[in-house]
A and B are shown apart, each in its own frame.
Chain A
Amino acid sequence: MVVYETETTPRPAALRPLVESTWRFRVLVGVLLAIVGWALYAYSVQLTIGLGSTGMNAPAYWGIYIVNFVYLIGLSAGGVIVASLAYVFNLKEYKPVARIAELLAIMCLILAMIFITLDVGRPERLINILLFGNPLSPLVWDFIVIFVYLAICLIYGFLGTRSDIVAAMKAIPKRARLYRALALWYTDVSPGALKKDERTLRWVAMAALPTAVALHSVTAWILGLMKAQPGWHTALLAPLFVASAIISGLALVVVTTVAARRFLHVQIEDALITKLGRYLVWLIPIDVYFAFSEIITIQYGREPAQFSTLQDVVLGPLAWAFWTEMIVGLLIPFLLIVRPKDRTPRRVGIAAFLIFVGVFFKRIDIVIPSLIFRWLPFPAGGYTPTWVELSIMAGVYAFGILFIAIFAKLFPLVPLEAEPDVEKEAAHAETVPAGT
């Protein structure tokens, strides 16, 4: 199949957000910049005082930074799994969201790298990982797989966007030089060149899929290989991480797609969102199944260390995170979209948002309670993040949204060719409920 059959003339609708900015957009950018500025101040405090300015302590050696790291790695892996499935299986209908998924994957990966940098006590020595990397350390495995994955995402993103960059170059003459540079001066959009791109893209997509699974598995093994941490030391951890990566990544793609339709007037048809909603419904029981399998194993065996951690998760001071995940993050979204006729873009969007937020609580649940467990009779530990950590965290996410906003100003969020045409809309008309 050849997507780029002819050289297209850009449609005004798709390229309009590139040149026009509403006042709302400007206000949004201003607010985001202010949050980033505040976070930079907070980070300067952390650098001056040390990690003592955070809420971390013994035994909560890791805190909200690592929670976010694990969460974002999952979102990133999930995004790419969604994006590459569209290419590997040549599911043409998903290609409109593939670029958004890819973009989110790159953003989440960059944010994850920022979080891990924030967490170390001596960030200036991170170069030691390159100089003296220990091949036995799961952190080094993660370091390698993150960079391989980033490279794949960038190649993938570049090849998938290139023809649109060239289209934008032709449509917006005053930015022609910028676009030429963004296309890396590779502006050949002849059918032959595009066909070559397409072929490379499919190979890259095939490599992306196992790399995404590896990325999240290795991240799980950073935790799961630690025999000192009974809450993590289970063979189920990596599969569980991959499952929740897919569901949270897909949820993020849905949320962004719905938001892009609503606020940026990007054209994506309802039927596609309905379909993505169906996948979310399938994925929720898988997540619950893993959680149940884990809980029943520990509950039945009552091995003291694991049982104590489980009790902390379900009934301890952080139990609110577990129950929020179970009820707000899984049960409510499931009920919202379980019936096919309920899967309107609005409902799917809300359900996806709840899932996406819920998985964050699951990450808190995985990281913190296990750390708090101690084998020796230490005083009971606890962890509450400080304003420094929360400000920095807000700043990192503000930076992420800015990244997406800048991208939306530079490139069309949906591939130009993939916009719905009349014929396709008619074909999907019967699956789309009335009034959406």
Chain B
Amino acid sequence: MTRWGMAIDLDKCTACQACVVACRIENNVPMAGEEEVQKERAIYWNQFFSELRGRYPELRLTMFPRPCMHCEDPPCVPVCPVDATYKDAEGRVLVRYDKCIGCRYCMVACPYGARYFNWFTPQYPEGDENPLNPDTVRDSEGWLVGPSPRPRGVVEKCTLCIQRIERAKQKGLPIGSEKTGGVVSACAQTCPAFAISFGDLEDPTSDVYRLSRDKRAFRLLEDLGTRPQVYYLSEG
């Protein structure tokens, strides 16, 4: 059994947000434009948060990236009327982009706001070269789940870079942060501070297995009982 997950060490995180940028490029995340960003229509598979708590002079600034939590008990999955979103055999919560009817019920059900809707036809920066990642991943029934551009009017979200993992499996490459040359998600690969680890939560030799059991480890909104597969290591 494989269960992909991540561990994000907030002590190591420098809040540079390179993970957010790498994710956008790897996964063909469309541009919203300035005006639509202000209207909260932007898409971030991995979104960065900063929160200021307390009162001057006792302020505390927390910053953290938030990919999809790939919950073990995902509230978004059972609500889908057409079975377009599902938890796959390796623990990833995926969306079948060519099946989704765009009702946005899963977005309503997700407490993390990790799901995003294509309010417009996806737009990408123009240039001489095609900037799009050409990878396409289809599930066993042939539905589109990989990063090839999504149509307008459907929901999309983090896939834990399924295209990278599936290709690595086909080519027999090692997968996981702990392995030399191990294939990992784009955010984990890009992180200059090595704050993000990627790997199999079921493998006792993996980084994520070890870190998920660290005494600093916690998960977002644990009280809601969703049991995320993305762990954070608290600061300080």
Residues in chain A within 8 A of chain B (CB atoms): 49-52, 56-59, 61-62, 119-123, 125-126, 128-129, 131-134, 136-140, 143, 222, 226-229, 371, 374-379, 381
Contact = CB atoms under 8 A, between A and B. Distances in A.
B116 interface: yes
Nearest to B36: A52
Contact of B101 (A49, A50, A122): A122
A120 B40 contact: no
B121 interface: yes
Nearest to A130: B82
Contact of B154 (A122, A129, A134, A377): A122
Contacts of A126: 101
Nearest to B98: A125
Q: Give the secondary structure class of B's interface.
A: loop
Interface stretch (B104-112, B129-137, B211-219): B104-112
A376 B220 contact: yes
Q: How large is the interface on B (under 10, 10 to 19, 20 to 34, 35 or more residues)?
A: 35 or more
Nearest to A116: B103
Nearest to B104: A61
B108 A50 contact: no
B104 A121 contact: yes
A376 B110 CA distance: 11
Interface string B28-45: 000000001001110000
A371 B109 CA distance: 10
29 contacts: A50-B121, A51-B102, A51-B119, A57-B40, A57-B41, A58-B107, A58-B113, A59-B113, A61-B108, A61-B117, A120-B103, A121-B118, A122-B100, A125-B102, A128-B82, A128-B99, A128-B101, A129-B81, A129-B82, A131-B82, A132-B82, A134-B80, A139-B103, A139-B105, A143-B81, A226-B75, A227-B225, A376-B113, A377-B51
B79 interface: yes
Nearest to A228: B111
Given A61-B117, A128-B101, 18 more contacts: A50-B118, A50-B153, A58-B40, A58-B41, A58-B116, A120-B103, A121-B152, A128-B84, A129-B81, A136-B79, A137-B80, A139-B79, A139-B105, A226-B75, A227-B225, A374-B113, A376-B66, A379-B40
Contacts of A379: 40
Q: Give the secondary structure class of A's interface.
A: loop
B83 interface: yes
B50 interface: yes
B99 A125 contact: yes
B49 interface: yes
B120 interface: yes
A134 B83 CA distance: 6
Interface in B60-86: 66, 75, 78-84
A51 B80 contact: no
B110 A228 contact: yes
Given A126-B101, A376-B66, A226 B108 contact: yes
A309 B165 CA distance: 41
Contacts of B104: 61-62, 121
Nearest to A370: B108
Contact of A56 (B119, B120, B224): B119
B84 to A, nearest CB: 7
10 interchain residue pairs of minimum CB distance: A121-B102, A121-B153, A52-B119, A228-B111, A377-B51, A139-B81, A128-B82, A136-B78, A57-B40, A52-B120
